[in-house]
């Protein structure tokens, strides 16, 4: 699938206007491509073939004519066990991990995974084999301290599913 690209036509602080040829959506994540760096931004407004983006990082170095790549995904955050025991910046980068890897001055364009995939959590199922589930159904839960995280069937899935194991 071809990437949806646009060209920067104006810059005002952290607000960037982009001309595009294809369809995009409000609140879509986009990246201003500056050399080998990708500056994360969000589509704030769309007027015809012009998108207005808020860039979430320092915009020094961005120029008219630079390319913007649209992700096709809405701005979102990662949720799950481990979230409550962490401290984040505004882009949901874990601050202790950032400091460990980069010191106290974060380079532009850095994104880290919000929740560690290395830590194991005990999953307690609420469903059994052959149960029927659909989007929003609770499959089980995981405890994190005093909190009980519900693990659910993703809301973007359609139809009914049968639990296999």
pLDDT at 157 over 90: yes
CA 15 distance to own-chain centroid? 19
Average pLDDT over residues 15-42: 95
Average pLDDT over residues 90-112: 87
DSSP secondary structure string for all residues of 109-165? T----SS-SSS---EEES--TT-EEETT-EEEEEEETTEEEEEE--TT--SEEE---
Average pLDDT over residues 151-156: 93
Average pLDDT over residues 58-70: 95
Q: 90: which DSSP letter? A: T
Interatomic CA distance for residues 20 and 6, integer angstroms: 4
pLDDT at 90 over 90: no
Average pLDDT over residues 2-25: 94
Interatomic CA distance for residues 66 and 77, integer angstroms: 27
Q: What confidence score (pLDDT) does residue 85 get?
A: 86
Q: By the 8 A CB rule, do 53 and 71 touch?
A: no
Q: What confidence score (pLDDT) does residue 12 get?
A: 97
pLDDT tens profile 127-147: 999 999 999 999 999 999 999
CATH 2.40.50.100 fits 120-165, yes or no: yes
Indicate the helix (H) or strand (E) that contains 99. helix 95-102
Backbone angles phi, psi at 37, to 5 degrees: -100, 150
The class of domain 4-74 in CATH terms is: mainly beta
Interatomic CA distance for residues 63 and 110, integer angstroms: 20
pLDDT at 1 over 60: no
Interatomic CA distance for residues 65 and 19, integer angstroms: 10
Domain positions in the chain: 4-74, 89-119, 120-165
Q: What confidence score (pLDDT) does residue 2 get?
A: 61
Interatomic CA distance for residues 101 and 145, integer angstroms: 27
Q: By the 8 A CB rule, do 43 and 25 touch?
A: yes
Q: What confidence score (pLDDT) does residue 105 get?
A: 80
């Amino acid at each position: 699938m071809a990437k949806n690209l646009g060209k920067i036509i104006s810059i005002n602080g952290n607000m960037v206007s982009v001309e595009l040829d294809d369809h995009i959506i409000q609140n879509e994540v986009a990246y201003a491509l500056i050399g080998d760096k990708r500056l994360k931004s969000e589509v704030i407004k769309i007027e015809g073939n012009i998108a207005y983006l808020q860039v979430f990082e320092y915009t020094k170095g961005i120029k008219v004519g630079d390319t913007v790549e649209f992700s096709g995904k809405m701005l979102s955050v990662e949720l799950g066990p481990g979230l409550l025991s962490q401290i984040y910046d505004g882009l949901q980068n874990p601050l202790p991990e950032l400091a460990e890897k980069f010191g106290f001055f974060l380079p532009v364009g850095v994104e880290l995974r919000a929740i560690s995939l290395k830590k194991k959590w005990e999953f307690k199922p609420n469903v059994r084999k052959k149960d029927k589930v659909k989007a929003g159904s609770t499959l089980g839960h995981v405890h994190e301290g005093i909190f009980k995280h519900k693990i659910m069937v993703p809301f973007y899935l359609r139809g009914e599913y049968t639990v296999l194991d």
